[in-house]
Structure formats: C-alpha cells, structure tokens
A = this chain, B = another copy of it.
Amino acid sequence: MKKQLALYQQRVNDALTHFLTSHQTAPTELAEAIRYATLNNGKRLRPALVYATGEALGMSLDKLDAAACAIELVHSYSLVHDDLPAMDDDDLRRGVPTCHIKYGEATAILVGDAQQTLAFDCLANGTNLSDKHKVSMVQILSQASGTVGMIGGQFIDIHSEGKLPSLSALQKMHQMKTGALIQAALLLGACQSDRFDALRPNLAYFAEKIGLAFQIQDDILDIESNTETLGKPQGSDEDADKATYPKLIGLDASKNMRDTLISEAKECLTKMDIQSDFLISIAGYIADRNH
C-alpha cells in the first residue's frame, strides 16, 4: 500500500508541477508562492483516493490526473486560508512556515484564491475528458467544497471554539469540513465509470466512514504525537480550545469509534464488489498513520 501511495503521490506531484508551470504570464512572485503552498510534502490522500477509485473501476490514470490535481488544489487552498491569522493563526504547516508567514498575509489570501480558481481551470481544461465528465467533476467539486461542504464546515468550526457541541453536531461539522472533500475524491475517481450511478450511494457511505475516522485520528494525533512528526504544532487543538472527539467522549472511546468506522468502511467495499487492495489498506492506514 505504501508503495502504491508513493506512486500516486509522485504522479500527482508531477501533474501539479506541470500544470502550475504552464501559466507563463502570471506574476513571477505569485506563481512562486502558489507553488510553495501546493508543491510540498503533503500526504496527497485525496488524489490517491481519486486514482485508486478510478483504477478499481477500470479507468486509466491519464483520465484521472485533472481531478487529482483539482482536489489537491482545493484542499491546499483551504489550508492556506485556514492558517491565516484571522482563522486558525498557524505558523507551521507540513513542516515548513505557512504561506502567510513566508509571503505575507495579502499574498496568502491571493494564493488561496488562485489555487481555487486553478482547480476549476484544471478540470475545465483537463485532457482526455469529455465535456460531460468535466461538467460532472465541476459539479462534484464545487458542491463538496462549498457552503454545504468544506467551507460550511470550516465556518461552523471557527464559530464553535470554546463551546462543547453534541457528538452528532461535531460529526456533522467534520462530515462537512473534511468528509465532503474525501467523498468528492471517491466520486471524482468514479464518475467516468458506467457503474457510477449504481455505486454512488455506497461510495458516499464508504467515504463518510473513512472521513470521520480520519478526523478522529487527527484529534488523537494532536494529543499523542509530537510537533516534529506532525509537521504542525502538537497540542494546537487544545490551545485553540477546539471541540475534539477525545474531549467529548474520551481518548479510548475515540479510538474505539475510529476502529468501528474503519471496519464498516471495509465491509462496504466488499459489498460494492470493488477490487482494490489499495482502498482496503488506505482505510487501515488512516487509523494507523502517525502524522
């Protein structure tokens, strides 16, 4: 699995590098800041899910590059904006200074804006894609990353600091903030397949399970890992007085919940008759990862 993940990471990094250097007339310093915020040692989990889902359904990788790049650009823009002083105010991301620390706040706002624009640009100009599939992809990505998904979740998150929500409210927030984009990765990978309409509900279910497990593991790591391994400050949830699963239900119950979610996700894959060792192992990886 780790070998396959490394291959997917390499592929999306190459595709992103190619895409980001093809806009020759952009201001040099802005282009550099966009590359800084995009081409780093991110886990590339979402692009890997795009590739793995597509491959499991018989798609060739060159029909998945645009979606892989686009979803990473959206994820990456959300990190740049979430790190801003007015939001989470983080100085460190993926082991290096955050975009606004390195380039200033105004540039970081524009970098995030541009990454979002580039994501849709990338889909609309994707090679080897029919117009029908380009449109589906823009629909999936805009829905998942908008007010009913990622942005809505982030809004709820920043307005919940210092409050202790119910478990279901916390799950709803995470389903929007991180789950929706993980779900989009599965849907983007699958949407060119003839089986897409039939599989869609189960893909969404699988994504919801691993998305929540991923978030719970994030909360656990914020307690149990260290700054060097994480590439961002350990304990920052506690410092920001954020609602987390460990805070709400305790550390052990959080680990149990994470493991149950992973089991349910794996069962769902079997039900869908999707042959993908990678997708099976990625579910396990989400629970085991240390950063």
Contact B138 A23 (CB under 8 A): no
A23 to B147, CA, bound (A): 8
- What are 22 A-to-B residue pairs whose CB atoms are below 8 Å? A26-B148, A27-B147, A29-B155, A30-B151, A81-B109, A81-B110, A87-B106, A112-B113, A113-B116, A116-B117, A117-B145, A118-B147, A120-B138, A121-B142, A121-B143, A121-B146, A123-B138, A125-B139, A131-B132, A131-B134, A131-B135, A138-B138
Shortest distance from the beta carbon of A191 to any chain B beta carbon, whole Å: 13
CB closest chain-B residue, reference A146: B117
What 3 A-B pairs are tightest by C-beta distance, nearest first?
A: A26-B147, A86-B105, A121-B142
Interface code A119-163, partner B: CB below 8 Å = 1, 0 otherwise? Answer: 011011100001110110011001101111001101110110000
Say whether chain A's binding surface is mostly helix, strand, loop, or mixed. Answer: helix
Which of A125, A132, A142, A152 has the most C-beta atoms of chain B within 10 angstroms of its own C-beta?
A142
CB closest chain-B residue, reference A109: B81
Does A168 count as interface, using CB distance less than 8 angstroms? no
Contact A117 B30 (CB under 8 A): no
Residues of chain A whose beta carbon lies under 8 Å from any beta carbon of chain B = 23, 25-27, 29-31, 34, 77, 81, 84, 86-87, 104-107, 109-110, 112-114, 116-118, 120-121, 123-125, 130-132, 134-135, 138-139, 142-143, 145-148, 151-152, 154-156, 158-159
Protomer copies: 2
Contacts A31-B147, A114-B151, A131-B135 known; 7 new A-B pairs at CB < 8 A: A27-B155, A81-B109, A81-B113, A109-B109, A110-B155, A113-B113, A121-B146
Shortest distance from the beta carbon of A35 to any chain B beta carbon, whole Å: 11
CB closest chain-B residue, reference A78: B113
Which residues on the B side are within 8 Å of A113 (C-beta)? 77, 81, 112-113, 116, 151
A134 to B138, CA, bound (A): 10
Which residues on the B side are within 8 Å of A105 (C-beta)? 86
Given known A26-B148, A29-B159, A132-B131, contact A138–B124 (CB-CB < 8 A): yes
Shortest distance from the beta carbon of A290 to any chain B beta carbon, whole Å: 30
Which of A107, A109, A132, A148 has the most C-beta atoms of chain B within 10 angstroms of its own C-beta?
A109
A206 to B81, CA, bound (A): 36
